[in-house]
Structure formats: structure tokens, C-alpha cells
């Protein structure tokens, strides 16, 4: 008989956003080993969205989170509902995902409504807010919350995250949380078909387009394209559109906006170069760049910026590293082009298969949960 786990889902940004999240991918794998139970909160603007999971209770919020008042009201309402649920539930374990986000600064409350020794906190990426003061404040507030829990696990830059969250390493479990595996795709290099998949806010993706434009200008005989999938704030999105327009790349660089997870394999099959690009700043340096492994698992070589995570993963056999500027990206694209005959998609996938989410959940995560349950 499977043990029961209740998933604390504090987000109310919509089921489509949750479906594309790392949390959902973890939960999908955990469902193979445990019975999972969920509460989902939907704003009025998301009421038509459907979720195809069992053991899901949908709660419809009264307001859209369009201003400070409605955001606060919704947050208080969600916390109250979750606490009511925790008080009544008889599940074996409670799972909470926490990151340095304002919606998580009251996560300590849940420890008063369920047995602390049967709650597992999964820590995700620390704050990447550009304002250092805000970033440090959020990290500090989360660190206070974490003192209320006995079981905390970290995936990614383990020591760095422990430092940022002021955690004693001996009291934190390290889990090598893998990435979602979309499957293997055969691919050739008759042309260069770049793909960026991820958030557009604060990622400075416009620099990759400028680098792409330089490469294309220097190599007019090479057929190349660049598909960009993801959403971002108005400022970041408009900047990307302006760069595309300024370099007359409307036919080569296509912004697709948000795409559901089920649509992603189409682009992974079409493209042959993954772009794993984050700015080289102190607050991005320790971020686990999930898309790097997701590209490699499909057999796709990558161009990746030199943050700590990418430095440990990307090598001569699977891609090229670059700095966070357009010229370095252009140079990396040129280096990769000259090596296209060298890359072996099957070998690229084989060498990171142990980093797939399926593998890490089975060999690492389940053992951690069972050690808490039994």
C-alpha cells in the first residue's frame, strides 16, 4: 500500500504555470511511488484551466492578484485554507517547496498544524532579485522560517545555498535532483537551429540575439534560426523585440511566448543547439540552470554561460561555454559550428542520463522520503 503525501501548493498563478514548473515534474515522478494529494488555488482569470491529476481539490479565489491589496488578501486566504487542511489531514507526509519569494515568508506557520518530523521542505533557487538589499532580506526571512522544520533538502549548489540560508550543513539533506527527460531526438547539422527555453525576465536574452546577429553577418552562407520560448515582464520582452527589429531578424528569430509542456518536444526535435544563458552575476552564479541538462538529455549540444553549475556540466563533448555578452556568445556559436561534425547526440545523452529526474527520484529522493516515513 502506497504512503500518502500532501503537497502544499501556495501558488495561485495558474495551473499552466504550475504544469511547467520543476515542482510539478517532481510530483509526477513521486506519484509512481506514493499517493499524492493536492490543493490548487485559482484566480478568477484562471477558472477555465483544468488539471489532469487525481486527488486534486480546486479552490477558486475571489480576486485576481492585480494589486497589493488583492495579493495580500489571496495570500492570507490561501494560508488559512492550507492550515485548515493540515489540521484535519491524516496523511503520512507533508511536502513544501520553498524559495526566496515573498509568498514563502510565512511558511513557518504550517509547522504548527502538522507533525514537524513528518514535513519535508524542498529548498529551491535563492532570490535572484537584482537589488542586493531585497535579495538578502528575502534570504534572511526564509532562513528564519526554515528554523521551524526538521527535514530540509537542497538540490543544486549545496554549500552555497546553506550559506545563503544560514543552515547547518549537517542538518540538511543533499539530493541530486535531476532534470525532466523529454526523450532523445535524432538531429543533424545541415543548418544551425538555436533554441532558448525559459524565463525572459532578467536573463538578458537580448545579448544572445545580438551575438546571433553578429554570427549571421559574419557567415551569411550559413542557414540559421533561433526559436525563443518563454514569457517575461514587459520591459524584457520589449527589449528582445526591439533587438530583433533593429537587426532585421524577424524571419530568423521567432518569439513563441509561453508554450505548454506537451508542446516543447516539437521544438526540441526541430532545433539542434540549446541556449542555456543566465547573466554572470553573484546572484545567478549558484543557480542550478535546469535547461542545460534538459537540452543535453535530448542529445543537443549547448551554448552556456559560465556560472558554477554550467562549468561543472558543459565540456568539449557536449557544448561551448561563453561569457554574458554578445561577442562571447557569437564566438561560442562559431566554435560550436566548427565542431558540429564532432558531436555525438547519443553520447551526449548517455553521459547525463544519470542526471534525469526519473533516475534521481528513484535513486535519491525516494530514499530520503522513506527515511522520514519509516
My answer on whether 255 and 141 are in the same domain is no
My answer on whether 220 and 258 are in the same domain is yes
Q: The C-alpha cell of 136 is what? A: 538578502
pLDDT in tens, 269-318: 999 999 999 998 877 777 778 899 999 999 999 999 999 889 999 999 99
Per-residue pLDDT averaged across 96-105, rounded?
Answer: 88
Q: Is residue 183 part of a domain?
A: no
Q: What is the pLDDT of residue 179?
A: 86
Q: Is residue 48 part of a domain?
A: yes
Per-residue pLDDT averaged across 97-119, rounded?
Answer: 91
Give the residue numbers spanning the domain of 27: 4-178+356-373
Q: What is the pLDDT of residue 242?
A: 96
Per-residue pLDDT averaged across 89-105, rounded?
Answer: 91
My answer on whether 245 and 114 are in the same domain is no
My answer on whether 245 and 349 are in the same domain is yes
pLDDT in tens, 351-367: 999 889 998 899 889 99
Report the percent of the chain where pLDDT is more than 90: 59
Q: What is the pLDDT of residue 300?
A: 96
My answer on whether 172 and 33 are in the same domain is yes
Q: Is residue 43 part of a domain?
A: yes
My answer on whether 102 and 222 are in the same domain is no
- Inform me whether the pLDDT recorded for 12 exceeds 70: no
Q: Is residue 335 part of a domain?
A: yes
My answer on whether 272 and 245 are in the same domain is yes
Q: What is the pLDDT of residue 51?
A: 66
**Could you tell me which of 228, 233, 277, 235 has the C-alpha nearest to residue 256?**
228
Question: pTM for the whole thing?
Answer: 0.82
My answer on whether 258 and 153 are in the same domain is no
Task: Please give the mean pLDDT across all residues of the chain.
Answer: 90
Tell which phi-psi region holds residue 198, choosing left (phi > 0), alpha (psi between -120 and 50) or beta.
Answer: left
| Residue reference for cell 558531436 | 343
Q: Is residue 186 part of a domain?
A: no
Residues 6+ apart with CB under 8 A from 158: 169, 172, 174
E-only strand ranges, the chain: 4-8, 35-42, 56-60, 93-98, 119-123, 151-154, 172-174, 192-197, 224-229, 253-257, 273-276, 302-305, 319-322
In sign, the C-alpha dihedral spanning 61, 63, 65, 68 is negative
Q: The C-alpha cell of 217 is what? A: 553577418
Q: What is the pLDDT of residue 182?
A: 92
My answer on whether 77 and 89 are in the same domain is yes
Q: Is residue 185 part of a domain?
A: no
My answer on whether 268 and 244 are in the same domain is yes
- H or E segment at 132? helix 132-146
My answer on whether 168 and 204 are in the same domain is no
Specify the number of domains making up the chain. 2
CATH number at residue 125: 3.40.50.2000
Q: Which of 43-52, 161-170, 217-226 has the lowest mean pLDDT?
A: 43-52
Q: Is residue 184 part of a domain?
A: no
Q: What is the pLDDT of residue 225?
A: 97
My answer on whether 25 and 104 are in the same domain is yes
Q: Is residue 187 part of a domain?
A: no
- Inform me whether the pLDDT recorded for 156 exceeds 70: no
pLDDT in tens, 185-205: 988 899 999 999 999 998 999
Amino acid at each position: 500500500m502506497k504512503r500518502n503525501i500532501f503537497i502544499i501548493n501556495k501558488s495561485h498563478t495558474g495551473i499552466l504555470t504550475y504544469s511547467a514548473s520543476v515542482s510539478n515534474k517532481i510530483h509526477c515522478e513521486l506519484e509512481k511511488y506514493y499517493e499524492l494529494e493536492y490543493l490548487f488555488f485559482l484566480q478568477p482569470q484562471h477558472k477555465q484551466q483544468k488539471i489532469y491529476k487525481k486527488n486534486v481539490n480546486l479552490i477558486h479565489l475571489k480576486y485576481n492578484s492585480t494589486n497589493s491589496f488583492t495579493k495580500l488578501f489571496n495570500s492570507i486566504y490561501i494560508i488559512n485554507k492550507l492550515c485548515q487542511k493540515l489540521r484535519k489531514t491524516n496523511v503520512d507526509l507533508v511536502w513544501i517547496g520553498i524559495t526566496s519569494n515573498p509568498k514563502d515568508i510565512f511558511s513557518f506557520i504550517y509547522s504548527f498544524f502538522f507533525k514537524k518530523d513528518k514535513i519535508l521542505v524542498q529548498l529551491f533557487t535563492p532570490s535572484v532579485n537584482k537589488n542586493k538589499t531585497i535579495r538578502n532580506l528575502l534570504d534572511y526571512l526564509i532562513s528564519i522560517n526554515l528554523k521551524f522544520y526538521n527535514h530540509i533538502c537542497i538540490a543544486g549548489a549545496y554549500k552555497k545555498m546553506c550559506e545563503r540560508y544560514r543552515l547547518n550543513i549537517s542538518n540538511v539533506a543533499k539530493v541530486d535532483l535531476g532534470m525532466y527527460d523529454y526523450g532523445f531526438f535524432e538531429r543533424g547539422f545541415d543548418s544551425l537551429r538555436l533554441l532558448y527555453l525559459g524565463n525572459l525576465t532578467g536573463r538578458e536574452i537580448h545579448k544572445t540575439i545580438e551575438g546571433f546577429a553578429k554570427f549571421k553577418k559574419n557567415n551569411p552562407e550559413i542557414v540559421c534560426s533561433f526559436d525563443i520560448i518563454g514569457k517575461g515582464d514587459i520591459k524584457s520582452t520589449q527589449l528582445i523585440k526591439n533587438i530583433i527589429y533593429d537587426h532585421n531578424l524577424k524571419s530568423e528569430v521567432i518569439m513563441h511566448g509561453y508554450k505548454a509542456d506537451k508542446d516543447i518536444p516539437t521544438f526540441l526535435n526541430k532545433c539542434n543547439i540549446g541556449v542555456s544563458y543566465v547573466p554572470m552575476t553573484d546572484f545567478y552564479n549558484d543557480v542550478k540552470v535546469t535547461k542545460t541538462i534538459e537540452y543535453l538529455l535530448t542529445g543537443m549540444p549547448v551554448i552556456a554561460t559560465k556560472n558554477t553549475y554550467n562549468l561543472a556540466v558543459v565540456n568539449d563533448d557536449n557544448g561551448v561555454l561563453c561569457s554574458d555578452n554578445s561577442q562571447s556568445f557569437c564566438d561560442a556559436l562559431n566554435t560550436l559550428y566548427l565542431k558540429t561534425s564532432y558531436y555525438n547526440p547519443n553520447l551526449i545523452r548517455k553521459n547525463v542520463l544519470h542526471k534525469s529526474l526519473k533516475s534521481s527520484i528513484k535513486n535519491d529522493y525516494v530514499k530520503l522520503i522513506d527515511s522520514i516515513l519509516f
